[in-house]
Amino acid sequence: YGTRLGWDHPHRMSQFQRLAQVRSLNLTTDSTDSKTEHNQSLELEISTIEDMEDVGAVLSVGTDGGDVLVLDGDLGAGKTCFSRGFVRARTGLMDMRVTSPTYLLSNTYPVDDGDLLIHHMDLYRLSGGKPEDFQPLNLEYVFNHCISLIEWPSRLGDLMPPQRLELTFKIDVETVTDDDENTRYLVLTPHGDHWVKKLEKIKEDGYLDDLIVEYEE
């Protein structure tokens, strides 16, 4: 992964070197959470696909069962790129194929020798908002025992977990071109002490310094 982590360009680093670097990061936090709401947020300016994947990789480090990340915002703004970086870094499989789960609702990826699953969900098709629509996803179990990446989280309604990291993806319309290298903005908003502490540590340790636009406490 890329230069904002202080590493060499990915094309000059082997997959095994990158994996070792990702796993060497220490972003774990105290697991004790409260339900206190915070006004903290971190805004990033992201100009390339590689940068978006790097952000996903950084946020994947130290994630464990019960961690929920909800991905909202503009269509085509980088949610799948973020998820690809997250899943590849957390699994350690740098060539893993990570695609949008729109038609399947959920793709799963085993980590930690199969003891833990990442669930990458796209809830777009569940527009009715009926509780029975979510039964096949077994959300109560997943939210408590797995790592969750959720696109179209507004579909959850009252099922939204109180402890989560909210990511809002936005496209800068002034930079839109025919290729994929358009500027995106990503706002990270933590809900619950676990995510507040993790975001503070990422900010303090400088892993995303070259991407930060604004940090609100």
pLDDT digits (tens, 9 = 90+) for 125-149: 887 667 788 888 999 999 999 999 9
How far from 181 is each of 3, 5, 77, 178, 208, CA to CA, in Å?
Answer: 17, 20, 11, 9, 19
Q: What residues have CB less than 8 Å from 70, skipping those under 6 apart?
A: 150, 153, 156, 160, 164, 165, 166, 167
Per-residue pLDDT, 29? 52
- N-to-C CA span, the chain: 28
**What's the mean pLDDT in 145-163?**
93
Radius of gyration of the chain from Cα atoms?
A: 16
Which is more confident, 207 or 15? 207
Which is more confident, 105 or 27? 105
Angle, in degrees to the nearest 10, between helices 79-91 and 49-60: 50
190: pLDDT strictly greater than 70 = yes
**What's the mean pLDDT in 29-52?**
72
Contact at 8 Å (CB) between 186 and 43?
Answer: yes
The pTM assigned to this predicted structure is 0.81
Residue type for position 58: V
80: pLDDT strictly greater than 60 = yes
Per-residue pLDDT, 165? 97
Kindly report the CA angle at 12 between 10 and 17, in degrees rounded to 5?
70
Contact at 8 Å (CB) between 195 and 177?
Answer: no
Contact at 8 Å (CB) between 74 and 169?
Answer: yes
Which residue in 71, 29, 26, 28 sits closest to 193, CA to CA? 29
**What's the mean pLDDT in 69-82?**
89
